Amino acid sequence: MGIGDGHAVPDASPPVAGHRSTRARQAASRAGRLLILIAGCGAFFLPLWFLLFFGAVAVDAGHAWLRRPPAGDGPRGFVQSPSLSQEPVVLRDGDFTLAFPRHHLVSADPSPRHGTRVSLVALATYPGMEGNSPALARCFDWAQLAACGIVALSYSGIREEGTQAFSRRRASLLDGHEDRDAGAFGLRPTIMPHVLVHIDEQAEDIIVISCPPILPDCSMTLDVAGTRWRVLMAPALLGQWRDVVAEIRRFLAARVTRDGGPG
């Protein structure tokens, strides 16, 4: 029909607002069903997840228990004989034997995780040590130990020996700093901040001293007869590091043996 015949022409455009609200309700319905599905799956699998987690923890604990060394023998590679309550206490690490009076030991805990070698034996007293100065001598006296600045002497394990091991350690400390001369106290700077080193090329001996400003003590690492030790001392003793090293090496020389002979 024509436009002028008196009949209205129907509007062919869709009700946009109504369609949009319908689509929104459908989307919300789908999202709600999805959330309900996720919540249901979570509620179903949550006990299973807890079971798997605690089961794995129990299996790991069981493996650690099965790997434990026999009672009284200490961990593999590092054992005490006789017991720590007897004199002297004898600690064995591979081919090395360390013998100390019981009262020298602050701790000799043979309980590392997964049966690995004990890495720390702390000593608090140094009877018989004679320093090159009265102040240093007092550091090795039980009554004056804390007052003079020697905090602890700790066993760190067997050191890797040989020229290659020495060269690798030297490079790791001096990489890019080989041409720098020794500074204060005859110690050379390293690639690490607040870490100084003494290197004896002939003896292939390295002594590392670290004095971070945020810590109260300096840490010194030195080798004695094929074993490695760590000393904690007051920063005021840094200028006497040679005397401290000499005394500790003399003290340990009689207490560290290898295959039945001197270390």
Determine the pLDDT at residue 89.
Answer: 74
Residue 139 located in a structural domain: yes
Contact 100, 86 (CB under 8 A): no
Q: What values do phi and psi take at 100, rounded to 5?
A: -140, 145
Does position 227 have pLDDT exceeding 80, yes or no?
yes
How much is the mean pLDDT over the chain? 67
Instruction: Examine residue 152 and state whether it is found in any structural domain, yes or no.
Output: yes
Of 7-21, 161-175, 225-239, the one with minimum mean pLDDT is 7-21
Question: Does residue 22 sit within a domain?
Answer: no
Task: Count how many domains the chain has.
Answer: 1
Which structural domain, as residue segments, surrounds residue 159?
78-262
Residue 55: inside a domain: no
Q: What was the pLDDT predicted at 223?
A: 92
Kindly report, residue by residue over 57-113, the tens digit of the pLDDT.
554 554 443 333 333 333 333 444 445 566 777 777 778 888 877 666 655 544 444
Among 127-131, 143-147, 197-201, the range scoring the smallest mean pLDDT is 127-131
Q: Specify if 16 maps to a domain.
A: no
Nearest by Cα to 99 from 210, 233, 11, 225: 225
- Is residue 205 domain-resident? yes
Residue 67 lies in a domain: no
Across residues 239-243, what is the average pLDDT? 87
Q: Is residue 66 part of a domain?
A: no
